[in-house]
Amino acid sequence: MSNKATLAQKKKSLTPKLRFKEFTSSWETKKLGDLSDISKLAGYEYTKHIVYSDTGKIIALRALNIKRNGLDLRDVKYIDSSDLTKLNRSKLYIGDLMFTYIGANIGDVALINENERFYLAPNVARIRADKARMDYYFIHQYFNIPSFLNQEISRFIASSSQPALSMESIRKFEVSIPTLPEQQKIASFLSAVDEKIQQLTRKKELLEQYKKGVMQQFFSGKLRFKDENAKPYPKWHWKNGNELFDSISDKNHNSDLPILAITQDQGAVPRDMINYQMSVTDNSIASYKVVQKGDFIISLRSFQGGIEYSNYKGICSPAYNILRPCSEDVYSDFYRYYLKTSKYIMQLQRNLEGIRDGKMISYKYFSEIKLPFPSKDEQQKIAGFLTALDTKIEKVGAQIDKTQDFKKGLLQQMFV
C-alpha cells in the first residue's frame, strides 16, 4: 500500500461517523498531557495539613466518591477545620475531571460542576483541561467511552494485585480531538442529552418518594378511600398471619413447571429469566413445591429474601414455605405491598431476635404477627393505586434506559 493510500486511510479513521455538517477537518490524535494539566496529591503534604470530620461544607473527594455517572456524595469526609491555605494545590474548580488511578474502581471519572466546595484527596487524579485547546465537557464524555478507557488503561497498567496508573501514564493517554469549536458543539449537544437523563432520573426519584409516602399513609390508616357512595369503608380489622394465609405444601406436579428463584428485588421468578444456574437432580425436583401466581414464599432464613410474591406458576425448593390466601377476601396484591413496609419488616425482625442458625422464618413466626384486614374493596383500591404508581415508575425507568442507550450510540458515532 502506498504512503498516500495509508495517509488517506488514517485520515478517514479520524473522521467520526456522525458529525455536524459545518465541520469537515480531520480530527487529530494528541497525548492527554499536551492538552491538560494532570496531577495528584503528595501523600505527606496532604496528610500534614488535613483534618477530617463527619460534618461540614467542604468535602475532600476520595476514590469512593467518583462514579461513572457523576459524584456519589453519600459517604463523604469534610475538611472545614483543615489549614486550607496549605492545600491550594488540591482545590477543585468547575471543569476539573476526577480520575481514579488505583484500585478496583480504576478508570472511574466524574466532573466537578461547582466551585468552593471540593478538594482533592489521595488516590484520585485531577485532569484540568487547557481551555484554549480542549473543552472539559468534551473530554469528560470521551472518558465515558468504555473502549477508550479499556484500551488506554491496558497499555500502562501495572501487573499486580493492586492495579495502578502513574501520572506519566495518564499523560500519555492518546485522545482524538477535533477543533475547539467542534468539541464545544459536541459537548453542548451531549450536555442536553445528559440533562434529559438527569430530569428523568429526578422524576423517577420523586415518584418513588411519593409512593413511599402514600404507602405510609395508607397502612397507618391516615389516608383512606371511600366507597362508590362517598362513604368511608368499614374500620380495619387486624388478624394473625395464619388467619389470612395457609401454609401450602403441594408437590403434585410432573416436574414440567419452571423452577423459581426467590429474589429480593424481583420476587419469585423463573430461573432462566435471571440466568440463575443451579444443577438439580430429577429426584430432588420431585420433592419441589408448587407455587401458584399470587402465592407468597417465605425463605427459611431472613437473609435469603424474607417474604416474596410470585407472579408466576412454578415450583421451588422444599426449603421454602409457601403462603396462599385463606379466602377470596384476602387480596394478594394488597399484601404484596404491605409485607414490604418497614413497619412489617421491623415486626418480623423483632420476632426473630435471639433465634440461632441464621434467624429462621417459619410459618409459626409469620402467624404470630398481626396483619391489617380491610374490606376487599378497599384492599383492591389501595393495591390498584400503588400498582398504577409502579407502572409510572417503570415507564420513567424505561425512558431513562432508552435515553442512556441513545447516548451510548452517540458516543460510538460522534467520537473516533
pLDDT (tens digit, 9 = 90+) per residue, 254-271? 878 999 988 877 888 998
| pLDDT mean over 276-283 | 63
Say whether pLDDT at 101 is over 70.
yes
- Cell 426467590, residue located: 262
Letter for the amino acid at 32?
L
Q: How far apart are CA 305 and CA 291, in angstroms?
A: 16
What was the pLDDT predicted at 353?
54
What was the pLDDT predicted at 175?
95
Tell which residue, 30, 69, 379, has the closest CA to residue 234.
379
Q: How far apart are CA 286 and CA 288, in angstroms?
A: 6
pLDDT (tens digit, 9 = 90+) per residue, 111-148? 999 888 999 988 899 999 999 999 999 999 999 888 89
237-373 classified as CATH 3.90.220.20: yes
- Is 119 within 8 Å of 76 (Cβ atoms)? no
The domain locations on the chain are 27-176, 237-373
Tell which residue, 381, 370, 362, 358, has the closest CA to residue 320.
362
* Helical residues (DSSP H) of 303-367, grouped into ranges: 332-338, 342-352, 363-367
The reply to whether domains 27-176 and 237-373 share a CATH topology is: yes
- Answer whether 0.95 is exceeded by the pTM: no
Say whether pLDDT at 13 is over 70.
no
Say whether pLDDT at 356 is over 70.
no
What was the pLDDT predicted at 25?
92
| pLDDT mean over 386-398 | 97
What was the pLDDT predicted at 105?
85
27-176 classified as CATH 3.20.20.70: no
Average pLDDT, the chain: 88
| pLDDT mean over 73-80 | 93
Between 43 and 348, the more confident residue is: 348
Local confidence band at 284 (pLDDT 50, 70, 90 cut-offs): confident
| Residue 227 DSSP symbol | -
For the residues of 111-173, what is the DSSP string, one character each? E--SSSSEEE-TTEEEEEE-TTT--HHHHHHHHT-HHHHHHHHHHH--SSSS-B--HHHHHT-
Say whether pLDDT at 302 is over 50.
no
CA distances in angstroms from 225 to 102, 229, 233, 385, 392, listed in the order given: 56, 11, 7, 10, 21
